[in-house]
Amino acid sequence: MTSGAQAVTAREADAALLQWFEHQGWRPAAFQRQVWRHWLRGESGLLVTPTGSGKTLAAFGGALLEGLREQGAGTDGKGRPAAASRLRVLWVTPLRALATDTTHALTAAIDALGLPWTVAKRTGDATSRDRRLARQGQAEVLVITPESLSLLLSYPETAAQLTGLRGVVVDEWHELLGNKRGVLLQLTLARIRSLAPQAVTWGLSATIGNLEEARAVLLPHRPDAPLVRNAPRRRLTLKTLMPAAGERFSWAGHLGLSQIDRVMQLIAGARTAILFTNTRAQAELWHRALASIWLEAPETLALHHGSLETALRLEAEQGLRDGRVRCVVATSSLDLGVDFPAVDLVLQIGSPKGIARLLQRAGRAHHRPGAPGVIQCVPTHALELVEYAAARRAVAAEHIEARKPLVLSLDVLSQHCITLALGGGFEPARLLAEVRGTHAFAALSDDQWAGVLQFIERGGQALAQYPDFHRTVRDADGLVRVTDRRVALRHRLSIGTITADGAMQVRFLRGASLGSVEESFISRLKPRDRFQFAGRTLELVTVDQMTAYVRTAKGVSATVPRWQGGRMPLSTELGAAVEAALSGPRDEPELRALAPLLDLQARDSALPTPHTLLVESVQTRRGGSLFVYPFAGRTVHEGMAALFALRWARHAPNTFVYAVNDYGFVLTSQTPAPVDAELIQRLLAPHALMEDLQAGMNLTEMARRQFRDIARVAGMLTPSMPGAAQRSQRQLQASSGLLFDVLQRYDPQHLLLAQAAREVLDAQMDVQALAATLARCAARRLDLHHPRTLTPLSFPLWAETVRGELSTEDWSQRVRRAAEQLQARHG
């Protein structure tokens, strides 16, 4: 029971926070007050709220009230020794851009309320001041990324600094839930719970399809933790920039830039705009196209993606905040909850590929509590109109994608163990109990744990004779420690789970760095070749080690880098919504605009439905082509196409080539091959799936390539030391390939080999989704058609099959000519 004086202090503290809200023109929402009460009662939980609804102050308000009450009672850290840690709140964020924005927001609230707190930022681009404050525990609030938090735990003094922690906030938890960064964070949170059991943990998340599981992964020790999700739903308006009337056949990328004049009109009528693309290459192209017709000062148009130098990204972000920048062309680097209240127009180029991504990007416009989200979609091909209509329906029905959490990522666990061995050492039995307290390693077996300990001590059975793999020792007290300074330095340089795709620095010959592009792109260039990067046309001068030296080039003709992973697959939820929209009522403007194309598809073949599997067999000059439309996304279709090719060749020996997109896949046979319903059912059979995948795909070679990332995370590939030449992608792949071969021959049961095979099936091929798709397709009514020519659905797949052919013609010219011929044939 609190005393009367303390109760008055609590009321005064609450009044101070409410008065500040009122001064900002706000009123605390019910969900914000609810989270504050949970925090003050020492309860952890998960807050699910739309972007722009006030989640930052919902999570931080409890800490502010706690500080105000302690300040009023004269107990706000007064009287502590100067060397004592002042750390109260850890704010974990997945993006550096988000860290900068969050630091400003938290500092503004603290200063306005008169709390004597310091906010520091600990990310890869933190200042030396902030790094010092973080290392010494001399900031009350520390905004930090998962990798930097793990790095802090590698220093012995950090454990003592964390013991007085009051709370941890994990921002944008849904972005970490389904990847290895989230696994690493689970492990560090388990360590924090053991050091500071009194600290509360709150996750902040946008809406996802598996909220209860998201809570269980974040808070495995609190299965009954509150799930606060009664924030007011933010209205979303999705508008579409319609293509010209009369267009029938579509292929990826043939629209888009053709609508640039209309896009410019929209930007001209807005105060500030963000134009989102799905890939970095697309962002570079659109920035160059807009710059060519930009009538305002060049500095009012900016570019923002993850390969750009930090200073360039920060300049674009600050320009959005203070109104100097009128438009930013961006990728997912600006997806998350960075607050830009001045933005009143968001454009999406092409399909968002997922419902959650669409909501995130729409949330960047009018980013203020209670303001509606608006997004203007610009199709890059005609069939994306269906995706926009389907996305609008899915949002209305609240059908949001789930994020699947990873389990038993032993490379991440190995890295974490080395971190703790550096940070003062660990006792294996106690750490095992702590690790099993996470969702990711709840099923960790004794044999797997023994394998991890053996791996970090001497590399495993086959590598025991190599000193470079001897990283930990057990001292007289039974603690596992790192005693070698070289091991310590190498480990701290390689902490984290983000693996680069052979990035090469791009730097002016006399000047600053611009960022990085993939080594494979630079390797194809010769000196004096031009390419587009960082919103500039550059000329390659020379390549030295892992740096490409460039100078500014005159003219506009230039190639654009193609980053790995550029083709984002359609989500399962949006794929199902598209399939339903194609044959459903045409009550959306996009579907009405697409009516001539859909009618043509229905006349020459059929429209897909949720109850049928549409298959088309078409004879072209290239041979017989089988088109199958499961609407399961590019990743699943890759596996299905390989599986169909193997099974069909067994049935009737032949040579097949295939191509895929998000709607389906096509197999083209070298010699004529009859197609009937019985054959299709045989190809769809769900039995012997794994055996057929093993026979039809080179899983060993895929595992070899996957092993490189695993070996890097686990610390088997030592990083380049400061000042030394960076190793190339080819050198890294050769090193990891040699390790893979040695382990496969001499230690085939090595824990990381098994993980590589598992990740190929789970991550690269998504075997579970493949099996589910096969079963779903086999259970549907087969709708087999033999159209006389390509249909609107089959034409984009046919275009993919000719993309890689040698020709003196540009691919887009060949496809455009074919489209014109088809349109003429159909009148």
If one counts every other C-beta atom within 10 angstroms of the C-beta of residue 433, the result is 11
Band (367; pLDDT cuts 50, 70, 90): low
Averaged over 264-277, what is the pLDDT? 92
Across 499-513, 530-544, 662-676, 699-713, least confident range? 499-513
Bridging pattern class, strands 547-552 and 536-544: antiparallel
Averaged over 519-530, what is the pLDDT? 77
If one counts every other C-beta atom within 10 angstroms of the C-beta of residue 118, the result is 15
Whether 195 shows a pLDDT value over 90: the answer reads yes
Residue 131 in contact with residue 166, Cβ under 8 Å?
A: no
> Which structure tokens are listed for 40?
């003050």
115: β partners = none
- Rounded to the nearest 10 degrees, what angle do helices 4-23 and 96-113 cross at? 120
Distance CA 64, CA 150 (A): 26
Whether 565 shows a pLDDT value over 70: the answer reads no
Residue 531 confidence (pLDDT): 84
If one counts every other C-beta atom within 10 angstroms of the C-beta of residue 693, the result is 19
Distance CA 45, CA 273 (A): 35
Distance CA 183, CA 652 (A): 46
Strongest mean pLDDT among 214-218, 491-495, 753-757, 787-791: 214-218
Distance CA 348, CA 329 (A): 10
Residue with tokens 């610390």: 715
> pLDDT tens for residues 691-729?
888 777 778 878 888 898 899 999 998 765 555 555 555
Residue 793 in contact with residue 616, Cβ under 8 Å?
A: yes
Of 218, 137, 162, 143, nearest to 185 (Cα)? 218
Residue of 468 and 558 predicted with greater confidence: 468
Bridging pattern class, strands 503-508 and 513-518: antiparallel
Across 465-469, 799-803, 809-813, least confident range? 809-813
> pLDDT tens for residues 73-90?
655 554 455 457 899 999
CA distances from 740 to 411, 695, 745, 755, 758 (A): 14, 21, 9, 12, 15
Whether 361 shows a pLDDT value over 60: the answer reads yes
The number of helices, as runs of H, and strands, as runs of E, in the chain is 32, 25
For 160-210, give the DSSP string: HHHTT--EEEETTHHHHHTSHHHHHHHHHHHHHHHH-TT-EEEEEE---TT
- Amino acid, single-letter form, for residue 408: L
Band (154; pLDDT cuts 50, 70, 90): very high
Residue 557 confidence (pLDDT): 57
Whether 342 shows a pLDDT value over 80: the answer reads no
Residue 440 confidence (pLDDT): 98
Residue 194 confidence (pLDDT): 97
Residue 379 in contact with residue 409, Cβ under 8 Å?
A: no
Band (678; pLDDT cuts 50, 70, 90): very high
Of 379, 373, 378, nearest to 361 (Cα)? 373
Of 301, 304, 309, nearest to 326 (Cα)? 301
Band (733; pLDDT cuts 50, 70, 90): low
Of 463, 390, 363, nearest to 743 (Cα)? 463
Band (623; pLDDT cuts 50, 70, 90): confident
Distance CA 106, CA 377 (A): 33
Residue with tokens 């697309």: 282
Averaged over 448-477, what is the pLDDT? 92
Of 309, 306, 313, 308, nearest to 328 (Cα)? 313
Of 736, 733, 741, nearest to 714 (Cα)? 736
Distance CA 712, CA 500 (A): 10
Start-to-end C-alpha separation, the chain: 84
Distance CA 259, CA 281 (A): 18
Residue 182 in contact with residue 405, Cβ under 8 Å?
A: yes
Residue of 210 and 698 predicted with greater confidence: 210
Residue 57 confidence (pLDDT): 92
Residue 87 in contact with residue 164, Cβ under 8 Å?
A: yes
Portion of the chain with pLDDT greater than 90, in percent = 50
Residue 51 confidence (pLDDT): 65
Distance CA 777, CA 783 (A): 11
Strongest mean pLDDT among 356-365, 541-550, 676-685, 689-698: 676-685
Residue 349 in contact with residue 371, Cβ under 8 Å?
A: no
Distance CA 476, CA 423 (A): 17
Residue 820 confidence (pLDDT): 64
- Rounded to the nearest 10 degrees, what angle do helices 260-268 and 280-293 cross at? 70
Across 273-277, 608-612, 660-664, 764-768, least confident range? 764-768
Distance CA 84, CA 573 (A): 51
Portion of the chain with pLDDT greater than 70, in percent = 85
Residue 717 confidence (pLDDT): 85
619: β partners = 624
Band (256; pLDDT cuts 50, 70, 90): low
> pLDDT tens for residues 232-246?
566 788 999 987 765
Residue of 695 and 458 predicted with greater confidence: 458
> Which structure tokens are listed for 253?
């990328």
Whether 811 shows a pLDDT value over 70: the answer reads no
Residue of 447 and 523 predicted with greater confidence: 447
Helix (H) or strand (E) segment spanning residue 141:
strand 141-144
Mean pLDDT of the chain: 86
Band (777; pLDDT cuts 50, 70, 90): very high
Whether 225 shows a pLDDT value over 90: the answer reads yes
Residue of 156 and 247 predicted with greater confidence: 156
Helix (H) or strand (E) segment spanning residue 347:
strand 345-349
Averaged over 18-34, what is the pLDDT? 91
Residue 485 makes CB contacts below 8 A (sequence gap 6+) with none
Averaged over 789-793, what is the pLDDT? 92
Residue 555 confidence (pLDDT): 61
> pLDDT tens for residues 594-618?
998 899 999 999 999 999 999 999 9
Distance CA 370, CA 50 (A): 10
> pLDDT tens for residues 168-181?
999 999 999 999 99
Residue 374 in contact with residue 367, Cβ under 8 Å?
A: no
Whether 435 shows a pLDDT value over 70: the answer reads yes
Distance CA 49, CA 373 (A): 14
Distance CA 136, CA 815 (A): 62
Distance CA 427, CA 443 (A): 20
Averaged over 639-658, what is the pLDDT? 87
For 464-480, give the DSSP string: TT-GGG---EE-TTS-E
Residue 7 confidence (pLDDT): 47
